[in-house]
Amino acid sequence: MAHKWLDDLSGLEIGASTHNPYGLKTRNVGLGGEGYAQEQLSLVGEVAPIDICAEASAIPLSSESEDFILASHVIEHCPDVIKTLLEWYRIVKPDGYLFLVVPHRDAAPSDRGKPLTEWEHVVQDYMRHATPESEPEAKSFLYCHYHVFSPSSMKNFISRIFGCRLALVEEQDPDDKVGNGFSLVYRKTKSLQNAFPWEFQGGGYSINVSRPADFYQNKKEEEKNPLTKPPQSAPSCRQRGENPVVDQGRPHDKMEKSKIRLVSVVVAAYNSERFMRGLLENLEAQTIADQMEIIIVETGSETQEINIVRDFQQRFANITYVRTSERVSAVAATNQGVRMAKGSYITLLPTDDRLRCDALEVMVRELEKHPELGTVYADVFMTQFENQTFHRFIRGGYSIRFDFSPDMMLTGYPMGP
């Protein structure tokens, strides 16, 4: 059935096939795994290459860039089912296909006797940003089935999430690949441009689906809107150890203390010496750095970030450093910094976060364009490596922030890291 729908198209296979290959024009997305490699060797004599190393729910490709996504025996391995399905929808082109092969509830010995995953469960996973560690079924990531589905439950979930945005064009039970699951083929009937506003109901809440991050707009949108992706010549933060510290042609001598501060950046710091230089390089490279004040409240650190801060204070007059007399919480330190702030706008920044070089300028622009708003927030890239810059880093995932909803505020704080 895969050839019926996907021949002559180019797409992604999530989790390279461990059994007989599909023989389609695909790039493989996955994280690898010794167990799967050995299984592939024993069954087909070779290990499928991984072309894109990424989790199924965080694929570093442009929106609407692929003809199809094929995922065979994958969705049950994903802690956050809704986030994963939304990610696949994002990547598929309009009129493209989502081809799912899902195991029967008794296909794996470990699944036998388990209850079917309920709608409320996957909604809570989505609202709480479920991870392999947070899921109650947590075992070995990649090898654990977090969820158990039937054809009717999976179709019901997709219908609730996507409504008329996806159309079921064919189903097959059992599947014609291995025969221990069922296949569902969906066609994307609405482009991202026409898919929003997007809301679904679950757990007693109305849940707004966020538009994809600006970073993932397609090439046409990037060309129309330069803020979508900084051009190669855009100012960027230097890697640690490179000179000059600021790559924008700004003088290194102190700025005038009389400058009006548009933005106050409040940083609570504790044992942050290894992050401090990269943080300050990043902030002083902001496109509105000359309109910012940086307030660092350090709470009894045992490391020597104070020496790094003093070095930067010799070159920049917009840095205020305060050290508390005793160890206090990050919340208390943040509150102290907020009380000191003189800017028209305030942002809070952990020492291990890095901003795109125009991030604060873009957010200020939105607030000034919409004076009825009290806050703006952005989507987030994630990496597992310290002190990488926004423009040069190894991506380990990303988090697309929910559109604001009062209901969401009852279950957590969806606007921050």
Encode pLDDT of 63-108 as tens digits.
Answer: 899 999 999 999 998 999 999 999 999 999 999 999 999 999 887 7
Residue pLDDT, tens place only, 139-176:
554 457 889 999 999 999 999 999 999 999 999 999 99
Domain 259-399 in the same topology as domain 2-212: no
329 pLDDT above the threshold of 80: yes
- Beta-carbon contacts of 3 under 8 Å, excluding residues fewer than 6 positions away, are 22, 23, 24
pLDDT at 291: 94
pLDDT at 228: 34
Please state the domain extents for the chain. 2-212, 259-399
Rounded to 5 degrees, φ, ψ at 114 are -75, 145
Q: Which of 108, 114, 144 is nearest to 35 (CA)?
A: 144
**Residue 352 to residues 131, 268, 272, 273, 383, Cα–Cα distance (Å):** 21, 11, 8, 10, 11
* Separation between Cα atoms, residue 21 and residue 226, nearest integer Å: 41
At the topology level, CATH places domain 259-399 in Spore Coat Polysaccharide Biosynthesis Protein SpsA; Chain A (3.90.550)
Confidence of residue 206 (pLDDT cuts 50, 70, 90): confident
Tokens of 314: 């010799």
Range of 160-174, 236-250, 312-326 with top mean pLDDT: 160-174
377 in Cβ contact with 401 (< 8 Å): yes
Mean pLDDT computed over 180-209? 92
109 pLDDT above the threshold of 50: yes
At the topology level, CATH places domain 2-212 in Rossmann fold (3.40.50)
- Which residue type does 145 have? H
Tokens of 255: 């700025």
